[in-house]
Amino acid sequence: MRNKLTATLLALTAGFAFGHGDIEMGPNKGRILELSTNETMHGELSEKDGKFHIALLDKDMKPVKVEAQSLTATGGTRDKPVKLEVTKSEGGFTITAPKSGEWLIVQYKESDSAKPITARMHYDTKKCATCEHVEWLCTCSAKK
């Protein structure tokens, strides 16, 4: 898993060198993480008091009740990945936020027998010079 994580982080780091990328925002102004291969399940990631909340949304961006779904999370750096505690509730999942500059990698499963879907995000809390939003929520490059 460490080799797979390392390769993925290197590929994603190269993408960030060229700008913010196309960040999609959810109905509650959180960042959308794709949690399916066919865009039928999304996670809306928001942060408050050092914790992330991931609310599940369907293809129409409507809330989905959390029942059999599961989520695991890893944070940290390429050299020192750290498993993050995930708390499940009817409204979604809560995760302790990694430190600024670190990665958040989540693996979502629709059920115990389902294949996991992996979503990644670089958690950068610096302010964007163009739009003044924190980098992990910056959408200004999508407007260009």
3-state helix, strand, coil in the chain (%, to 5): 15, 40, 45
pLDDT recorded at residue 139: 84
pLDDT at 78: 87
Count of the separate structural domains present in the chain: 1
In angstroms, the CA 42 to CA 39 distance is 7
Give SS3 for 1: coil
Q: Residue ranges of the chain with pLDDT lower than 70?
A: 1-21, 141-144
- Would you state the pLDDT for residue 23? 86
Other CB atoms within a 10 A radius of the CB of residue 130 amount to 12
Note down the domain range covering 127: 2-143
CA dist 51 to 48, 90, 130, Å?
5, 17, 26
Taking the model in full, what pTM does it have? 0.80
- pLDDT for the residue numbered 16: 40
CATH number of the domain that 43 lies in?
2.60.40
